[in-house]
Copies of this chain bind each other. A is one copy, B any other.
Amino acid sequence: MNIEIINTGSELMLGLVLNTHQQWLCRQLADAGYDVTRQTAIPDAGPAIQQTVREALGRADFIIVTGGLGPTSDDLTRDLIAGLLGKPLHPDPAILARLENFFAQRHRPMPANTHVQAQIPEGALVLPNPHGTAPGLAMEVRPNPFRADGKTSWLVMLPGPPRELHPMFTDHVLPLLRQKFPLEAPFVFCTLRTTGLGESVVEEKIAGPLKPLTEAGLELGYCAHYGEVDVRLIARGENARKTMAAGEVIVRELLGNHIFGTQDDQLNAAVIRLLTERKETLVVAESCTGGYVANRLTDVPGASAVFLGGLVTYSNEAKQNLLGVHPETLASHGAVSEATAREMAEGARARLGADHAIAITGIAGPTGGTEAKPVGTVFIALATAGHTFVLNPVNRFDRPTFKQVTCQQALELLRRTLLKR
């Protein structure tokens, strides 16, 4: 079956915003076993919207159109699609009452143009919007005049704001899709998230041993991010669960502790979980990453139970005053050195009374490198009871990527250490 996504919005065509809807919708559909065959973005203009929807109706079984359902003059989707399909619009009293209530609750007068959002094309299903004013719409195009075989297509219109679109898709669109176009065979998928190995190494380790299963239909894919490689397994058919279980056992055995999570797990959350389980605490002293590691750790809800605090010690004075790094160490080895990293970690651990301390010092660039210590040089120290370990990678990237990669290495060093204990 063919599923197409059409994103409307002149701001997309001007490059003013990223099209996050594409990734989000494609991911939700893929994880439910449906493939998206095409995605199109077009400006908020009558001819473009009508032409694109007409073409999609000629090809696709299920079409999702985003944006253009609001009350302003550039919100054209509802009217144009109703026009294209020859359906008159009628006001829906229930939606109108909901809109009035929405504004009354917020003690705001209802703008006059709001009522257009209660206009419903004849025969359309209304998808409720608890997070905004514009309801979604679903229409069965039957018979479908734009399709050579006249086969029915479904057309769904969703509001643009993500906090309105996401729950509407999950609560209404996915159930509708599953009901109207049930999967022909059972479908299961699993993403195993790894770190510390390159994509080709991961492939070398698992592709051979998985061959009997992939030849029997298990789908195997890789997706590399900086410092991480996702292994994606998909199984279909009657034995899907059994095949998946067998595949997962093989991958877990071969990649072992390189796997830090499944599906959407993040390395920062994995580290916080390990610390929480062990009732151990962490502090971070950062120079070149400038707070990135602390920020990533505190993105995890509940981090405050194990993350005591962080210090961003850019200047030598801060390294001395806040962490107790010796002036002689800085003078003889330099701020970017194994000795300084070690003293930063040990100082942070002692001063904040934590079980573990990560310290990072390096040269993020674009300037500041020398022959002996080129841009990208980093020292990552991990101090735990009785032992301090120092990593010394060279991360030659632009500044934001440098921070990201270095943080990943630091968190992975801590994760491996925690797993060993």
Residues in chain A within 8 A of chain B (CB atoms) = 11-20, 22-30, 35-43, 48, 52, 55, 221, 223, 230, 232, 284, 286, 289-295, 297-299, 301, 303-304, 307-315, 317-318, 321-322, 351-353, 364-367, 399-400, 403
**Minimum C-beta distance from A68 to chain B (A):** 16
A48 engages B41 (CB within 8 Å):
no
Partner of A35, one of B13, B36, B299, B353: B13
Q: Taking the full assembly, how many copies of this chain does it contain? A: 2
Contact A15 B24, CB 8 Å, known A295-B295, A307-B314, A321-B351: yes
When C-beta atoms are compared, the residue in chain B nearest to A309 turns out to be B318
Picked from B13, B39, B298, B353, the residue with its CB within 8 Å of the CB of A291 is B298
Chain B residues lying within 8 Å of A29, measured Cβ to Cβ, are 15
Complex contact B15–A28 (CB within 8 A): yes
> Nearest chain-B residue to A323 (Cβ)?
B309
Minimal Cβ-Cβ distance residue in B for A14 = B30
Which residues of the partner chain B approach A28 to less than 8 Å between Cβ atoms? 15
Interface centre among A14, A26, A43 (most CB of B within 10 A): A14
**Contact between chains at A314 and B298 (CB < 8 Å):** yes
CB neighbours of A37 from chain B (8 A): 13, 42-43, 48
With both chains docked as a complex, state the minimum distance between the C-beta of A228 and any C-beta of chain B, in angstroms: 12
CB–CB A42/B38 < 8 A: yes
The CA-CA distance from A42 to B266 in the complex, in Å, is 28
In the complex, the answer to whether A16 meets B309 with C-beta atoms within 8 Å is: no
Given A301-B367, A311-B312 in contact, is the A15-B26 Cβ separation under 8 Å? yes
**Residue among A38, A48, A284 with max Cβ neighbours from chain B (10 Å):** A38
Query: Chain A at the B interface: mostly helix, strand, loop or mixed?
Result: mixed
Min Cβ gap A379→B in Å is 17
B308 touches A314 (CB 8 A): yes
Most buried by B among A11, A28, A318, A351: A318
Q: Is the CB of B310 within 8 A of A312?
A: yes
Q: Which B residues lie within 8 Å of A22 (CB)? A: 12, 15, 18-19, 41
- With A295-B292, A297-B290, A312-B291 in contact, is A352–B318 under 8 Å at CB? yes
Contact (Cβ within 8 A) A366 B301: yes
**In whole angstroms, how far apart are the Cα atoms of A291 and B19 in the complex?**
28
Contacts of A52 in B (CB 8 A): 38
Question: In the complex, what distance in Å separates the CA atom of A27 from the CA atom of B15?
Answer: 4
How far, in whole Å, are A308 and B18 apart by their CA atoms in the complex?
Answer: 34
CA distance in complex: A41, B23 (Å):
11
Q: Do B399 and A299 have beta carbons less than 8 Å apart?
A: yes
Whether B309 lies near A309 (C-beta < 8 A) is: no
Residues of B within 8 A of A19 (CB): 18-19, 22-23
Residues of chain B with a CB closer than 8 A to A11's CB: 223
Whole-angstrom distance between the Cβ of A289 and the nearest chain B Cβ: 8
Per the bound structure, the CA–CA distance linking A330 and B410 in Å amounts to: 33
Contact assessment for B12 and A18 in the assembled complex, using a CB-CB cutoff below 8 Å? no
Q: Which residue of B lies closest to A45 (CB)?
A: B37
Chain B residues with CB under 8 Å of A221's CB are 14
Given contacts A301-B365, A301-B399, A308-B315, 16 further A-B contacts (CB under 8 A): A13-B26, A13-B35, A15-B23, A15-B26, A15-B29, A16-B223, A16-B232, A18-B23, A19-B23, A38-B41, A38-B42, A290-B310, A299-B400, A304-B314, A311-B311, A311-B312
